[in-house]
């Protein structure tokens, strides 16, 4: 009989499902980690939410563990590397909070537009301020949705019912899918310029950090309203306070913050035009019941050999059994992630060519890894090697695979071509020795790039002094150079320079590099 232990507060319907399937369940939410360590070797399954920290030292004691289930989307509290190395499947329940977060977005939108919290507080204080809290209607307003994953699309559906015009930006969603939902896809600057209300539903990354900043807020309509139920840090809180004070932004509604809990006495939380809630997006009875039932059903299916659903690392375990092949999976993710941070326009198609017999046996896994790398930077939902193909199909991305014999220069070469409505770009990579990943082609440029950490990409006229000027700017910003890759065709023509650095490069440094004569298309990438 399989034994499962639940160490966090999870809806008890999960216990009923597991017990009805014939498993022995120990339900002990709040169990101290020292106590878990004493008994964990006896269990085949572990279910947690966010309180239990599943660390390498705990995983090391899991002699019989087959699956760790997270009743929720994120798996930040589970050490995936240690679990994978131990051969333990890690599952989560992405999508369980989609409706609850979309509905909370609507609740904040209505509360912000009709001044509900402020009016409620005023009335409780014995005031009758009808004129002071006059609001605005949703009907006829233009709603700009930045990020059209599952939650963003659910917000669109609900907002249409209020008679709103929906526009949006998403670098992944196809125009065909957007059109069926009644969403007009625009570039980001157009969304800023045309929206009466902006709501963000993107993951927090180096690309989306401070997406709404002093610079981008200036591009918005006067009196725009801003909502954030996604991740703290997507909106620059200090810049937003300035815009609220000036009237550029007429209202804001937030459920997430840069620091949680935030500074309760700070200017942002205390601002009279801001509606706030303490990260309640997924906090509904239905959402918590849904994820509890979902994780229990996934574990039942796994143990009854009916398939693996919601696994974050199942394919990684499969590839990990072949140590020689494992670096190619990581390389494929790198290629997808790299393009997700460099591309322009709406992604239409991905073409992948596998050169070399070794790669021919693993094309499905490698293609999935490319999708995972690309989508992980674009979607708020957890993206893994199990759900990446489904998410790509849902977003209208087509993927084509071809196979060819060994390349003249490389025994095994993976070439990925990304086609958008604005450009076509290609990236090719291989593995040297046992695990030395290298990107060897970027478009027409041949180079040898180690894809890891923080990187600076820029194009420049190939002439003396260019690298020295850029190096000086990095040195003045106390950014250390770790590696250098150059690609060029002719002296004096355009060249591509990629510099590996030891720390993140901020926008100020990027702008300084862009100001160097002969330098253009500067980007900071993080892998």
Catalytic annotation, residues: 231, 260, 279
Q: Phi first, then psi: what are they for 417, rounded to 5°?
A: -110, 125
Q: What is the DSSP letter of 282?
A: T
Number of residues in the chain: 527
Q: Phi first, then psi: what are they for 499, rounded to 5°?
A: -120, 120
Question: How do 24-27 and 3-6 pair as beta strands?
Answer: parallel
168 with 186: CB under 8 angstroms? Answer: yes
DSSP for 12-75? Answer: THHHHHHHHTT-EEEE-TT--HHHHHHHGGG-SEEEE-SSS-B-HHHHTT-SS--EEEESSS--
CB-based contacts of 390: which residues, under 8 Å, 6+ apart? none
3-class DSSP state of 301: helix
Q: Cβ–Cβ contacts within 10 Å for residue 105, how many?
A: 27
CB-based contacts of 408: which residues, under 8 Å, 6+ apart? none
Cis peptide before 163 (omega within 30 of 0): no
């Amino acid at each position: 009989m399989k034994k499962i232990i639940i160490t966090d507060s999870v809806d008890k319907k999960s216990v009923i499902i597991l017990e009805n399937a014939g498993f022995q369940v120990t339900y002990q939410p709040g169990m101290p980690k020292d106590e878990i360590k004493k008994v964990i070797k006896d269990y085949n399954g572990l279910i947690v939410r966010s309180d239990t920290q599943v660390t390498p030292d705990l995983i090391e004691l899991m002699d019989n563990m087959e699956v760790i289930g997270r009743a929720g989307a994120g798996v930040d509290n589970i050490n995936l590397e240690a679990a994978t190395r131990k051969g333990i499947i890690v599952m989560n329940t992405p999508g369980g909070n989609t409706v609850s977060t979309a509905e909370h977005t609507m609740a904040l939108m209505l509360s912000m537009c009709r001044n509900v919290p402020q009016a409620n507080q005023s009335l409780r204080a014995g005031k009758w301020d009808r004129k002071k809290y006059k609001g605005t209607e949703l009907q006829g307003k233009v709603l700009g949705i930045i990020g059209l994953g599952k939650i963003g699309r659910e917000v669109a559906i609900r907002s249409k019912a209020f008679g709103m015009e929906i526009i949006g930006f998403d670098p992944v969603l196809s125009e065909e899918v957007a059109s069926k939902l009644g969403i007009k896809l625009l570039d980001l600057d157009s969304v800023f310029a045309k929206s009466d209300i902006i709501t963000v539903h993107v993951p927090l990354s180096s690309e989306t950090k401070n997406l709404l900043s002093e610079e981008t807020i200036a591009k918005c309509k006067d009196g725009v309203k801003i909502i954030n139920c996604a991740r703290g840090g997507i909106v620059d809180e200090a810049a937003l306070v300035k815009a609220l004070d000036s009237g550029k932004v007429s209202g804001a509604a937030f459920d997430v913050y840069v620091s949680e809990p935030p500074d309760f006495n700070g200017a942002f939380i205390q601002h009279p035009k801001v509606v706030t809630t303490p990260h309640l997006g997924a906090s509904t009875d239905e959402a918590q019941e849904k994820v509890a039932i979902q994780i229990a059903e996934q574990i039942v299916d796994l143990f009854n050999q009916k398939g693996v659903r919601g696994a974050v690392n199942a394919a990684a375990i499969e590839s990990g059994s072949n140590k020689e092949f494992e670096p190619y999976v990581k390389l494929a993710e790198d290629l997808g992630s790299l393009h997700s941070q460099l591309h322009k326009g709406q992604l239409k198609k991905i073409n992948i060519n596998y050169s070399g017999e070794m790669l021919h046996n693993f094309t499905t896994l490698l293609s999935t890894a490319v999708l995972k790398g690309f989508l992980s930077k674009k979607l708020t939902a957890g993206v893994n090697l199990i759900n990446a193909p489904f998410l790509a199909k849902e977003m209208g991305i087509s993927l084509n695979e071809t196979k060819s014999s060994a390349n003249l220069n490389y025994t095994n070469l993976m070439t990925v071509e990304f086609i958008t409505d604005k450009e076509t770009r290609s990236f090719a990579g291989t593995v040297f020795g046992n695990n030395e990943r290298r990107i060897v082609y970027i478009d027409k440029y041949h180079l040898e790039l180690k894809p890891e950490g923080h990187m600076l990409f820029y194009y420049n006229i190939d002439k003396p002094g260019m690298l020295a000027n850029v190096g000086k700017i990095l040195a003045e910003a106390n950014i250390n150079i770790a590696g250098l890759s150059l690609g060029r065709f002719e002296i004096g023509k355009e060249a591509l320079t990629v510099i590996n650095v030891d720390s993140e490069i901020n926008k100020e440094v990027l702008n300084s590099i862009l100001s160097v004569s002969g330098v253009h298309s500067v980007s900071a990438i993080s892998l």
